[in-house]
Every structure is written in C-alpha cells, then in structure tokens.
Structure 1
Amino acid sequence: RAGKESNMSCSFAIAITPDRCNISAAGGTSKHKMVNQCDRKLAFKVRSSNNSNYSVNMIGGFIDVAETKEFIITRKAGKPQPDKLLICFCDATGPDALEHFKGEAKGEVVGETLIKLSAAE
C-alpha cells in the first residue's frame, strides 16, 4: 500500500522496535531497530527534541526495501523531561540522504515515525 498515492503520508513505512526508549536520567544507552516496510528505498533523517542529553549513532542515510538497520540512542546525565526522536523519511531520489530534508521533504512517500524518550530518576 505504501506509496501508491501521490504525496502520501506514510507513518507505517518505517517501523521502530522498541518504539520507546527508557534510559536512566543518570545516563545510558538503548539499542533499537529500524525496518523499511515500504515498497521502495527511503532516505531518512533523525531529529531530536533534546540534543543536549540525547545522541544517536546515525543521523541519516538510506534504507532499502525490507532492510533492517540497528542504531543506539545514548543519553547523558541530566534532568528528566518528556523528549522525543523523530525518524523523518521520504523517497530516495538523490545520492545524498540528508539533502532530501533541506526544506520540505518531497516524494510519493513522506512521513515520520516517533520514538518516545523517557528518562527516569
């Protein structure tokens, strides 16, 4: 179904497991997997609501049809607050994945997948 309509918002094109990230406010890491469930190669970019406390070992790239990529979220010590990561994605049409996200992402498949970040004291 993904990508059959023009400019289709397709939140199910990329699945993240687990879809929550629970890390101690004192700091730590969490491993996650991203799977392309769409019928086409996608470009993606990771955006964080809190770059001071959270980092990810990949900020963008390409993911092929049915491909799985593993990534690690790292949290530095700090006050807990409600934060999130967004995995923004769109059709891969050029050679530079991050260029797809300068301005508004375009293509038949465009969307984002949310990862809730939860830090407990």
Structure 2
Amino acid sequence: MALNISPPNGYFRASGGNATFFIISQCDCRLAYKVKCSNNDRYRVTPVYGFVEKNSKSDIKIIRLSGSPKKDKFVIQWAKVPDGETDPQAPFKAGTQVGQVILPVKAE
C-alpha cells in the first residue's frame, strides 16, 4: 500500500468534536489524495483534496457535528502525480485514481 492513515480509527463524542489524522506516504512518489465521507451531514473535513510528498505525511482535520451515535467511514483515495502537478483534483477528474484506504470512525 502506498498510503496509510494514522491513527487507523477515529472516535468522537456524539455531541461533537474534532481530531487530526495523518495521511502518510509509504512510497518514493508524490501522491494526490481526495477524502470522501459516508455521512456528510455529521462530518466536515479539511482539506478534501491535497498532496503528500514522497515518504512524507500531511494532516487532515475532521470535525464531527452533534448528532446520534453512529459508525461511519472516510475513504481516502489516492493517485500518483508528477512533481510539477499543482492541482490535487486533476488526477481524480481524469479518472487516474490508483487506490484507497478506509478510515472507520465511531461516535458514542
């Protein structure tokens, strides 16, 4: 796998909260990522699109709004991109997604 998430699971209070997660590149290539969520009514993520440099990491911030307890997930899709790429959305618009990793989250 070229990309990983740390921590690998998310826990939030049903009353709301926020957390930081790290998208970690495990390859000698530059990656673009896109974050998708199973429950856009309860969660906000920043940034939705971004880059992870070779053998490095980037952070994403997730906010959970107040609501009933529930299990959800984030899907982080990734694609290899050249060093000169400036638009993290470009590989996803072109349909060149390579893989994905799932971040399960739970609100209690």
Q: Where do residues 84-99 of structure 1 align in structure 2 (5 Å cutoff)?
A: 84-93=73-82, 94-99=85-90
Gaps spanning 5+ residues in structure 1: where?
A: 1-11
2:91 maps to 1:100: yes
Are the aligned partners of 2:51 and 2:58 in contact in 1 as well (CA < 8 Å)?
Answer: no
Letter in 1 for 2:31: L
Return the alpha-carbon distance in structure 1 between the equivalents of residues 58 and 26 of structure 2.
Answer: 12
Counterpart in 1 of 2:38? 49
Return the alpha-carbon distance in structure 1 between the equivalents of residues 43 and 94 of structure 2.
Answer: 24
2:105 maps to 1:117: yes
2:68 maps to 1:79: yes
Q: CA deviation at 1:78?
A: 0.8
SS at match of 2:89: helix
Q: How many residues align?
A: 106
Q: Where do residues 28-43 of structure 1 align in structure 2 (5 Å cutoff)?
A: 28-43=17-32
Which protein shows a greater Rg? 1
Counterpart in 2 of 1:17? 6
CA RMSD after TM alignment = 1.4
Q: CA deviation at 1:25?
A: 0.7
% of aligned pairs identical? 31
Q: CA deviation at 1:103?
A: 5.5
SS at match of 2:70: coil
Letter in 2 for 1:19: P
More deviation, 43-52/91-100: 91-100
CA spacing shift, 1:102–1:57, aligned 2, 3 Å: same
Q: CA deviation at 1:21?
A: 0.6
Q: CA deviation at 1:66?
A: 1.1
